Amino acid sequence: MATGTGTIAFLGLGHMGLPMAKNLVAAGHAVKAFDVVPAALEAAATAGIPTVDSANEAVADASVVLTMFPGGQQLLDAYRGVDGPGLLAVVRPDTLFLDCSTINVDDAREAARLAVEAGHRSVDAPVSGGVVGAEAGTLTFMIGALPEDLESVRPLLEIMGGKLVHCGDHGAGQAAKVCNNMILGVSMIAASEAFVLGEKLGLTHQALYDVVSTASGQCWAVTTNCPVPGPVPTSPANRDYQPGFAGALMAKDLGLALKAIESTGVAAELGPMAAAMYERFRDEGGAGRDFSGIITDIRDRSNGAH
12 binds ligand NAD (CB under 6 A): yes
Does 68 participate in binding ligand NAD (rule CB under 6 A)?
A: yes
When asked if residue 255 is in the footprint of ligand NAD (CB under 6 A), the reply is: no
N-to-C CA span, the chain: 57
Binds ligand NAD by CB under 6 A, chosen from 153, 164, 249, 254: 249
Q: Give the residue with the Cβ less far from ligand NAD, 70 or 168.
A: 70
Strand partners, 139: 161
According to the binding rule CB under 6 A, does residue 35 interact with ligand NAD? yes
User: What gap in Å lies between CA 283 and CA 90, rounded to an integer?
Assistant: 40
Asked if residue 127 binds ligand NAD (CB under 6 A), the reply is: yes
Does position 174 interact with ligand NAD (CB under 6 A)? The reply is no
By the rule CB under 6 A, 160 interacts with ligand NAD: no
Q: How many CB atoms lie within 10 A of CB 86?
A: 18
Q: How far apart are CA 167 and CA 149, in angstroms?
A: 13
Q: Interhelix angle for 172-200 vs 294-302, to 10°? A: 40
- H/E stretch holding 89 reads helix 87-90
Catalytic residues: 177
The H helix count followed by the E strand count for the chain is 14, 8
Among 14, 144, 247, 286, binds ligand NAD (CB under 6 A): 14
Cα separation, 12 vs 76, in Å, equals 14
Binding residues among 262-291 for ligand NAD as defined by CB under 6 A = none
Binding status of residue 171 toward ligand NAD by CB under 6 A: no
Q: Which residues bind ligand NAD (CB under 6 A)?
A: 11-17, 34-37, 40, 55, 68-70, 74, 78, 101-102, 127-128, 130-131, 249, 252
